[in-house]
Amino acid sequence: MSTDAQTFWDDQAATFDQEPDHGLLDPTTRRAWADLLLPLVPPGSSVVDLGCGTGSLSVLLAEAGHDVRGLDLSPRMVEAARVKAGARVRFTVGDAATPPYPPASADVVLARHVLWALPDPGAALRTWVSLLRPHGRLVLVEGRWSTGAGLTAARAESLVREVREEAVVERLTDPALWGREIDDERYLLLSTR
């Protein structure tokens, strides 16, 4: 990723958690994300949260007993995540396209609103899948937003099927996840093999 991207996300860090689905500050929104993600992560999993931002999902998973490593390009996002998580999560500054983790070192790779922003999403997915242990799970939360940015579910599914046998899409239309009604395409993609 470029230094322009790093600067952009550094500039967003101070207000990032004000979006309901970023900070998970509202109990209803936090519960909605917990209800969505926790059943997808086997007990005691090693999780890599790529593009973790201020660490809200990392903390949610760590509180549920998972061993979580968070990675974000923005030093300011990582700093905010460390404050939020304390010692529960290990955070690193780095590029989600080329995470600094060894192959077969995670049970779950999670990325929320990251794949669409990468210059070569196919290459990133190949790298992410290499991080998974046998029977590991790839969990992506993506969308095609009203601004025109993002990836359609069909495109994301196609990209994942180039590197995995399975890609199951679940539409995320529940306003509790976003803190408001939405009118664009948002989804979770799960691949377990």
Q: What is the pLDDT of residue 5?
A: 87
**Mean per-residue pLDDT of the chain:** 96
The answer to whether the beta carbons of residues 54 and 80 sit under 8 Å apart is yes
Q: What is the pLDDT of residue 158?
A: 98
Which tens digits make up the pLDDT trace of 37-89? 999 999 999 999 999 999 999 999 999 999 999 999 999 999 999 999 999 99
Tokens of 62: 């760590």
Share of residues in the chain with pLDDT > 70 (%):
99
Q: Which pLDDT band holds residue 170 (cuts at 50, 70, 90)?
A: very high
Q: How far is CA 35 from CA 14, 28, 97, in A?
A: 27, 10, 28
Q: What is the mean pLDDT of residues 163-191?
A: 97
How many residues are present in the chain? 193
Residue 191, CB-side half-sphere exposure with 13 Å CA sphere: 26
Interatomic CA distance for residues 122 and 169, integer angstroms? 17
What ranges do the domains of the chain cover? 3-95+102-191
Which tens digits make up the pLDDT trace of 118-146? 999 999 999 999 999 999 999 999 999 99
Residue (of 118, 168, 112) closest to 143 by Cα position: 112
pLDDT of residue 1 exceeding 70, the answer is no
pLDDT of residue 112 exceeding 90, the answer is yes
Q: What is the pLDDT of residue 3?
A: 82
Q: What is the mean pLDDT of residues 22-26?
A: 94
Share of residues in the chain with pLDDT > 90 (%):
93
Q: Which CATH architecture has domain 3-95+102-191?
A: 3-Layer(aba) Sandwich (3.40)
Q: What is the pLDDT of residue 2?
A: 67
pTM beyond cutoff 0.85: yes
